[in-house]
A and B are shown apart, each in its own frame.
Chain A
Amino acid sequence: MSKPTSGGDIVLAGVTKRFVTPTGQAMTAIRDVNLKIGAGKFCAIVGPTGCGKSTTLTLTSGLDTPSAGTVHVGGRQVDGITPGVGFVFQHDALLPWKPVIANVALGPQLRGASKTEARAQAREWLATVGLSGFEEHYPHQLSGGMRKRVQLAATLINNPSLLMMDEPFSALDVQTRAIMTNELMRLWEQSRPSVMFVTHDLEEAIAIADQVVVMTVGPATVKDVFEIDLPRPRGQIQDIRFDARFLELYKMIWTSLREEVERSYAMAAARKAGDK
């Protein structure tokens, strides 16, 4: 069983990522991103659609390497999959041919636990996310919300010290989403990994994070970083929305974000006009 690596602080310094599109053109996803996230902190990243927020996560987790600049996690430069990382993807990443229990047990199994040991752990985690009794179901037999829970269990079972979440709840309906967010907060409080959480939902971002990062329209870079000083534990995220300090923060961050969203729309419109 992997222990959480201590001091999982995240430092991105001058990180740029360029891709080559299938047509052979270079495309810059993010440029000169500088960002510091303290160990055990919850950082939410917001920004216009398609601005490279996901790329930031991919680079931090080590799934991809930056074109320029460096990423350090816990003082160690990222080179290959970052040790102790967990990643909840935007789209379903459960293996559809494995039953739920085998999906959750996969992490420990890949890290050398025996099958019985891994299954026992998986059973516990399924109970934690409220899915006891669904062990032998296949992913397609579950609802979207249940699949997300399985995904959470499959990720958290490895006890990550670093958690990447890429719009994890964006495909869920509003009610399920609120429940899942509360659930996530409860689980996070237990082991306190450092979290990078990409979202479109500013309310969600402020309600759960210690730090909200606003990214510019692509090629994206960090525009503003806001510290969220709402006290923890914050309780139900549905209630905190009416807190005076919350509204103050919301207005401040929204002003910063709105500019980018408007620019993003203007650019899309210009591109459309150019196509015609």
Chain B
Amino acid sequence: MSGAQEIDVAKLARMRAARYRKLVLAGRVGTLVFIVGAWQLLTDYKIIDPFFAGSPLGIIERLADWFTHGTAYGSFWYQIWVTMEESLLGFFAGVTAGVFFGVLLGEIPLLSDILTPYIKVVNALPRIVLGSIFVIWLGLGLPSKVMLAAVLVFFVVFFNAYQGVKSVDRNLVNHARILGASRLEVVWHVVVPSATSWIIASLHVALGFSIIGAIVGEFLGAQHGLGLVIATAQNNFDTDGVFGAMLIIGIIAISAEGLMAMAEKRLLAWRPARASENEAGGI
């Protein structure tokens, strides 16, 4: 009797959860339809000016035109590729350097004490302005954007890696030393894995920064890329064009974020599952 009741309770809970999920999904779709629909109707009836606000159909037309006929500086796919290439190269360069120096300075207190004021100064600088220097140094091509993206990524990752190294459990370090680990082996077996959860936490922000770096670099001066597409659209007062390029950038960022979440799951498989995990999809 009680067994049957338990099954009923479980079944009911499952049904309630499924109904809730459907409700959330319907709400999401509804919100999208409402916003896009209202936007389209308000601009159709000239209640708001389509010249300034653009319109969903206008954006789709503009994108279709770009994808079929290309832009003034080559195919649209190529512009997307250039921006992605800049972001990815900048991301990997920044992460590698950030982890390396974070671990190095975390492990050698004297070095970090000497360099801390300088790092603070550079960090306090609005780093976007470095883009101008990089364009002067490295020209209008790919390297200046990669450099800007890498610098933005570097500081985020660096501070997290450093903090991660500093908060390593001394017990674990002692354990490894007793087992016969050399200084380097301690770093490899204990310090780096232990800092990994800190580093990974920074990668989400770093990924966004790498895209910002590439786009801003392209704003400052470029021959290709989505930043240039946006800058050109801006100069022509082409609102649909700006929104269209934004949409593409958003899609790239979300896909990259998804890949990152998968990598994170693999790398942190050893961690106890947290109860809040199912909330991650929500926000």
User: Which residues of B are interface residues toward A (Cβ below 8 A)?
Assistant: 171-172, 174-181, 185, 189-190, 193-194, 196, 269-272
Q: Hey, which chain A residues are within 8 Å of B190, CB to CB?
A: 95
Which chain B residues border A87 with CB–CB below 8 Å?
174-175, 178
Instruction: Please determine whether B171 and A92 come into contact, CB atoms closer than 8 angstroms.
Output: yes
B172 touches A93 (CB 8 A): yes
- Complex contact A61–B178 (CB within 8 A): yes
**A87-B176 Cα distance, complex, nearest whole Å:** 10
Task: Give chain A interface residues in 55-102, CB to chain B under 8 Å.
Answer: 61, 63, 81, 85-87, 89, 91-99
Looking at chain B's contact residues, is the secondary structure mostly helix, strand, loop, or mixed?
helix
Stretch at the interface among A16-24, A106-114, A183-191, A250-258: A106-114
Residues of A close to B175: CB separation below 8 A? 87, 89, 93-95
Q: Do B270 and A138 touch across chains, with their CB atoms under 8 A apart?
A: yes
Residues of chain A within 8 A (CB-CB) of B172 are 93, 95
6 A-B contacts (beta carbon < 8 Å): A89-B171, A97-B193, A97-B194, A106-B176, A106-B179, A154-B179
Contact B185 A110 (CB under 8 A): yes
Report whether A140 and B178 are in contact in the complex, using a CB–CB cutoff of 8 Å. no
Determine the chain A residues whose CB is within 8 A of the CB of B179 once the complex forms.
106-107, 110-111, 154, 158
Kindly state the separation between the CA atoms of A93 and B190 in the bound complex, as whole angstroms. Answer: 11
Q: Which of B171, B174, B180 meets A111, CB within 8 Å?
A: B180
A-B contacts besides A107-B179, A110-B179, A158-B179, 12 pairs, CB < 8 Å: A81-B180, A87-B178, A89-B171, A95-B172, A95-B189, A96-B270, A96-B271, A98-B193, A106-B179, A110-B176, A111-B179, A138-B270
**Nearest B residue (CB) for A89:** B171
Q: Do A106 and B189 touch (CB < 8 A)?
A: yes
- Interface residues of chain A, those whose CB is within 8 Å of chain B, are 2, 61, 63, 81, 85-87, 89, 91-99, 106-107, 110-111, 138, 140-141, 154-155, 158
**In the complex, which residue of chain B has the Cβ closest to the Cβ of A139?**
B270
| Dominant secondary structure at the A interface | loop
- If A93-B172, A97-B196, A140-B272 touch, whether A81 touches B178 (CB-CB below 8 Å) is yes
| A268 CB to nearest chain B CB (Å) | 26
Nearest residue, chain A, Cβ from B194: A97
- Chain A contacts of B193 at CB under 8 A? 95, 97-98
A196 and B171 CA atoms in complex are apart in Å by 18
Interface centre among B175, B177, B189, B196 (most CB of A within 10 A): B175
Residues in chain B near residue A98, CB distance under 8 A: 193, 270
Q: Is the CB of B177 within 8 A of A63?
A: yes
A158: B residues at CB distance < 8 A: 179-180
